[in-house]
Amino acid sequence: MRVLVTGGLGFIGRAVAVRLVQAGYDVSVLTHRPAEAVRDAPMGVTVLHADLRDREWVMRVVGDVSFDAVCHLAGRSRTRESFDDPLGYYETNVTGMLSLLQALALAAERDGEPIRVVNASTVMVYSPSNGEPISEDMPPRPTSPYGSSKLTVEQLLGYQAATSAIGAVSLRIFSAAGAADGHGDSDLSRIIPKALAVAAGRAPHVEVNGDGSTVREFTHIADIAEAFLLALDAVRVAEHQVFNVGTGVGISVRDLLTTVEAVTGRPLTIMTRPPQNEPVALIANAQRLRDQLQWRPTRSTIDRIITDAWQATTVTTPPMAQGYMA
């Protein structure tokens, strides 16, 4: 099977591309990064260049190749930033998906075969809960431009699947962390990479909202990559399926930072700032993924996540411009 991974040089996308290569797929990654920035691409992949916001460019690069499937991970992904640039988030996430689907529609018509699409979505399509685990049965009510743009992408996939041009699965990822193939998360707007940067002496302090009692969960990117692999086989033409990807095991921010100190053996300088309005807890109910796809998050203990991420801190990866996963 020939698979295109958009955003395949980003944090999660790279892990997905590596896992697909390991599974024997013919993998191409699509990136908007310049050629000189992709010397460290995963072994065994073909690198293609295009910006999904440029429809004609995408048509030339994607539409001319016969892909059997696409794992879509390119996009902007910072919730707080999206409030400052809602138009930019819609342009990248929604227009990017529209360009991709148009190119895939032409390819499907030419080849006479529908294309499988596995889309990286997010917990942010849901509204804040009362702390109970969130299942796919909860109606999506995003409260940020980022979450809203990702829900629009899901809706596009559903409508396009109804034409039988594609089959699609959206994986609503709760929080990706850890490292794979020696590459960790370089986005210091997220708490684990920021805490590890402080432990490594690369940042002065980590900021905590309020007393650090908010609860989050984290899923190892290797387990997320496994979910993408399983989802490729689960795609059904003319259908759009949705699965949560998460462990269902939460940890407070305060306890998370204590674990970082224990794993690294280094104290953290913590700056407490006035609490902001944010969900008390974001915990996944991923039973549907477990039952229907037999997914098991075998690497997603918090100790394993932080250990793997800490070991990867010596690997330098280019920072993602404005949270763009590519």
Q: Within 10 Å of residue 259's Cβ, how many Cβ atoms?
A: 18
DSSP label at residue 93: I
Of the residues 89, 90, 146, 324, only one is catalytic, namely 146
From 174, 177, 176, select the one nearest 285 (Cα to Cα).
Answer: 174
Burial class (CB in 10 A: 0-12, 13-18, 19+), 251: middle
Q: How far apart are the first and last CA of the chain?
A: 22
CA–CA dist 255, 227 (Å, integer): 27
Which of 87-94's residues contact partners 24+ apart within 8 Å by CB, and which partners?
Answer: 88/322, 89/145, 89/146, 89/149, 90/145, 90/149, 90/152, 91/53, 92/52, 92/53, 92/149, 92/324, 93/146, 93/149, 93/150, 93/152, 93/153, 94/149, 94/152, 94/153, 94/156
Instruction: Please confirm, yes or no, whether 89 is among the known catalytic residues.
Output: no
- Helix pair 145-161, 96-111: axis angle to 10 deg: 20
Write out the catalytic residue numbers. 146
